[in-house]
Amino acid sequence: MAEKQDIRENTMSGGTPARLRGLAANGNSISPTLEEVMNAMGIYTYSFTLAAKEEKDLGDLGDGMYLLASPNNAATAIFAFGSYSKGFVSDAGSNFYCDYTDGTKGVAFGRKTTNGSFFIKNNRSTETYIVLKRIGTL
């Protein structure tokens, strides 16, 4: 009966992983998912559809950088927020995104008050699909 041999690390082929191999802090072997690894690094992804004029309370997401994309509108933006309601916003001049201190563009995102929850609002008259990626400060 032949023994099953593990594949040597240097002979493994490339590809898109579903799980990774690694060591836990205590030295035990683990096999986390990509989502678990991203969450451990402070990277979280959310996606949802907002109806026309809908506002969504996202809770306390924390300080950090936020990447927003609306695939059906081909628009993206970068937001940076600390604890204040005013944040840095860049949407490459598309005038599609703004923070809540502005609130006049197609999609408003951010805090309404210092240390408050995060909100996102679709100010448009049609529904908007949003993908939000948070890169938090560790």
Contact between residue 59 and residue 117 where contact means Cβ atoms under 8 Å apart: yes
For residue 126, give the DSSP letter.
Answer: S
Task: Identify the pLDDT of residue 5.
Answer: 65
Say whether 59 sits in a helix, a strand or coil. strand
Q: How many whole angstroms separate alpha carbon 8 and alpha carbon 17?
A: 17
For residue 3, give the DSSP letter.
Answer: P
pLDDT confidence tier of residue 3, bands split at 50, 70 and 90: low
Of residues 10 and 67, more confidently modeled: 67
Res. 57: pLDDT tops 90: yes
| Cβ within 8 Å of residue 84, ≥6 positions away | 111, 114
Task: Identify the pLDDT of residue 127.
Answer: 95
Res. 64: pLDDT tops 80: yes
For residue 94, give the DSSP letter.
Answer: -
CA 58 and chain centroid, separation: 12
Task: Identify the pLDDT of residue 65.
Answer: 95
Of residues 17 and 68, more confidently modeled: 68
Instruction: Dig out the tokens for 68 from the structure.
Output: 């927003």
Task: Identify the pLDDT of residue 136.
Answer: 82
Of residues 58 and 15, more confidently modeled: 58
Res. 134: pLDDT tops 80: yes
pLDDT confidence tier of residue 2, bands split at 50, 70 and 90: low
Q: How many whole angstroms separate alpha carbon 80 and alpha carbon 106?
A: 18
Contact between residue 58 and residue 119 where contact means Cβ atoms under 8 Å apart: yes
